[in-house]
Structures are given as C-alpha cells and as structure tokens.
C-alpha cells in the first residue's frame, strides 16, 4: 500500500506496520535510488509514496510525470519520530479523504490535496 522514502522515520514506518499496513521501505529495499526510480516503483506497484522530500512535487507537476503515484508529502517533521505515522493514521481513519490520484501536503494542523488531471 505504501512506499516510505529514505527520509521517512523508522519509528513511524514500524507504527504503520504494527497497525497492519503494508509499508515497503526505500531504505530497506532500494537504498540510494533516485526520486524518479522511487516514482517508477510506486507507479508500477500501485504504492503511495510517503516522504519529507518536496522534490516529488516538482518532478510530478513541473515535468508532468506520466501516471504519477499518489504522494503524501509531510512538510513538518513534528516533535517526535512517530509524528508522521500518527498523522497518517488520522488521515486514513477519515472517510471523507480519498488518497487516490493526488499529491497531498500534510502540515501539523492542515492538509492540502491536489488531484492529478484536474
């Protein structure tokens, strides 16, 4: 379901796995690959990218990436390494939020979503 970028905190990754979510890790499985390759893997496996790297927005929108995966970009790191995992669990429990086909920017108290092709 998810592909955690190399910068995604391990405690948050483990929290998501503990809660039953399938989370692949770039750090564990594909260490050192570039952002374009992360996008390619996520697209081919229908995974949602979890990242703190703003470059994904530029790659997808500026360079008009074909068939981009959903990206959840965490703008703030929060106070602890569980911050991203805890925020994501809240997002996933909100039935009014659809993750498919979008670039999502997560801040501490705000979420912005831009759908591809709209």
The predicted-structure confidence for 59-75, as pLDDT tens digits, reads as follows 988 878 788 999 999 99
The band of 117, judged by pLDDT with boundaries at 50, 70 and 90, is: confident
Report the SS3 class of residue 106: strand
Task: Give the domain range for residue 16.
Answer: 2-115
CB-CB contact of 78 with 55 (8 Å): no
Quick one: pLDDT at residue 79? 84
CATH number of the domain at 52, please: 3.40.50
| C-alpha distances in Å from residue 111, one per residue of 3, 67, 91, 103 | 20, 23, 9, 10
Report the SS3 class of residue 117: coil
Residue 105, beta-bridge partner list: 73, 112
Lowest pLDDT segment from 20-29, 48-57, 105-114: 105-114
Quote the number of domains for the chain.
Answer: 1
The band of 89, judged by pLDDT with boundaries at 50, 70 and 90, is: very high
Res 118 pLDDT > 70: no
Res 109 pLDDT > 90: no
């Amino acid at each position: 379901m998810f592909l955690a970028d190399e910068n995604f905190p391990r405690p948050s990754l483990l929290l998501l796995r503990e809660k039953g979510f399938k989370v692949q890790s770039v750090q564990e499985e594909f260490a050192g690959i570039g952002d374009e390759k992360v996008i390619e893997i996520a697209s081919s496996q229908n995974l949602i990218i979890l990242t703190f790297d703003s470059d994904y927005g530029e790659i997808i929108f500026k360079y008009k990436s074909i068939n981009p995966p959903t990206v959840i970009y965490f703008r703030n790191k929060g106070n602890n390494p569980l911050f991203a995992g805890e925020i994501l669990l809240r997002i996933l429990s909100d039935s009014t939020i659809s993750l498919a086909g979008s670039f999502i920017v997560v801040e501490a108290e705000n979420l912005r979503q831009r759908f591809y092709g709209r």
